[in-house]
């Protein structure tokens, strides 16, 4: 590991100013991903600016009936929060499906959003990787890609975003509060992430020094009936092969409103807007759910080793929505 300096800033503004002005400076949250990447030699920051003591650890109701979650809130505290469990169960379930008890105690909301892909080539500095070293190539297309993207990838990169939490946040339409060097701003979660295109090293729209300070959930009645289903190779403590976050509102047998997001199938948490559109006003039946999933998957570009994800996503989407709809009829 490269030597580094360590600082505890007095406030968020100071943290932002330091990282914006210092070559090689990065924020340190829970460290569950960053410290590992430093050990692997994938990251070699010159300065760690520790943002875990900046009082960004509160979960507060917003005036419009939503919830504002500080970026420093630990995953385990968010999963245990009574309001989250009652009003946004998909988020509690997604958090609890991720990592281990120890890691959830450490990991922060902001860090979770910005964690890096677990693509084997990205994590191995002896291999080419366009994300880690632009222009060096991508061995994944012909190599090990069982767990990589079927949607949103490019010729340069088919890495998947590894977060469970972010998939639930995508379904809920969360927004992200960012403190920049100039001024604070608010982005939709979808505006935070970039698809790889030919610049897979640029994963977000954040600039140097931008600090995520909070995530805000809008008031969303249908989220009370929501669920997260994660398919993985072990029963616990494994990254997703495919995951589905869904919420649905059924009235008179018809889909009045629906939210759907997919995990572990794309370089970003994938809001399935095409599928959502295909379901609105239609009978809340298995047929509707399956054809909506297939509409979303029409754009899929799987490879030999992950073509199984196409029917898997279709099946899991259909099962989760049928279960949610069944409980409302």
Q: Residues interacting with another protein, by CB under 8 A?
A: 1-6, 18, 21-25, 28, 31-32, 35-36, 39, 46-48, 50, 52, 76, 79-80, 82-83, 85-87, 89, 92-93, 96-97, 99-103, 105-106, 224-229, 235-237, 320, 323-324, 326-327
β-pairing verdict for 25-28 and 47-50? parallel
132 closest CA partner among 29, 43, 39:
43
Smallest separation, CB 198 to another protein (Å): 29
Nearer Cβ to another protein, position 228 or 289?
Answer: 228
**If you count them, how many residues does the chain have?**
329
Smallest separation, CB 19 to another protein (Å): 11
Contact 219, 249 (CB under 8 A): no
Smallest separation, CB 80 to another protein (Å): 4
Smallest separation, CB 52 to another protein (Å): 7
**In what helix (H) or strand (E) does residue 188 lie, and over which residues does it extend?**
strand 184-188
Q: How far apart are CA 212 and CA 216, in angstroms?
A: 11
Q: Nearest 5°: phi and psi at 305? A: -85, -10
Smallest separation, CB 304 to another protein (Å): 28
In the DSSP assignment, the letter for residue 223 is: G
Nearer Cβ to another protein, position 26 or 300?
Answer: 26
How large is the greatest C-alpha to C-alpha distance in the chain, in angstroms? 63
Nearer Cβ to another protein, position 3 or 281?
Answer: 3
Nearer Cβ to another protein, position 70 or 152?
Answer: 70
Nearer Cβ to another protein, position 104 or 177?
Answer: 104
Nearer Cβ to another protein, position 193 or 289?
Answer: 289
Question: Within 88-228, where are the H helices?
Answer: 89-96, 101-106, 109-113, 165-172, 189-192
16 closest CA partner among 211, 182, 186:
211
What b-and-e string marks burial along 50-61, b requiring 16 or more CB atoms within 10 Å of the CB? Answer: ebbebebbebee
Smallest separation, CB 305 to another protein (Å): 23
Smallest separation, CB 134 to another protein (Å): 21
131 closest CA partner among 204, 192, 189, 191:
204
Nearer Cβ to another protein, position 111 or 153?
Answer: 111
């Amino acid at each position: 590991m490269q030597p580094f300096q360590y600082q505890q800033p007095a406030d968020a503004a100071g943290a932002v100013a330091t990282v914006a002005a210092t070559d090689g400076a990065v924020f340190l949250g829970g460290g569950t991903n960053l410290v590992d990447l430093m050990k692997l030699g994938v990251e070699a920051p010159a300065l760690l600016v520790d943002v875990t003591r900046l009082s960004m650890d509160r979960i507060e109701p917003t005036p419009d009936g939503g919830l504002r979650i500080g970026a420093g809130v630990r995953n385990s505290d968010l999963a245990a929060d009574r309001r989250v469990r009652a009003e946004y169960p998909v988020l509690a379930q997604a958090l609890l499906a991720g990592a281990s008890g120890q890691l959830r105690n450490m990991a922060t909301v902001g860090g979770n959003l910005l964690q890096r892909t677990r693509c084997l080539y990205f994590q191995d500095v002896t291999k080419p990787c366009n994300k880690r070293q632009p222009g060096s190539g991508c061995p994944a297309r012909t190599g090990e890609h069982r767990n990589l993207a079927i949607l949103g990838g490019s010729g340069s990169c088919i890495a998947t975003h590894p977060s469970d939490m972010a998939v639930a946040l995508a379904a809920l339409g969360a927004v992200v509060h960012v403190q920049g060097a100039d001024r604070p701003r608010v982005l939709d979660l979808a505006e935070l992430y970039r698809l790889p295109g030919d610049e897979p090293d640029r994963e977000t729209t954040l600039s140097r020094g931008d600090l995520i300070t909070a995530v805000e959930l809008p008031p969303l009645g249908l989220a009370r009936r929501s669920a997260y289903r994660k398919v993985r190779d072990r029963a616990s403590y494994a990254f997703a092969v495919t995951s589905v976050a869904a919420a649905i509102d059924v009235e008179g047998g018809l889909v009045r409103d629906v939210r759907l997001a997919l995990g572990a199938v794309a370089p970003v948490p994938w809001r399935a807007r095409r599928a959502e559109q295909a379901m609105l006003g239609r009978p809340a039946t298995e047929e509707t759910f399956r054809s909506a999933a297939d509409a979303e998957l029409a754009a899929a570009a799987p490879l030999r080793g992950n073509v199984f994800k196409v029917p898997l996503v279709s099946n899991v989407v259909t099962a989760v929505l049928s279960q949610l709809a069944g409980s409302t009829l």
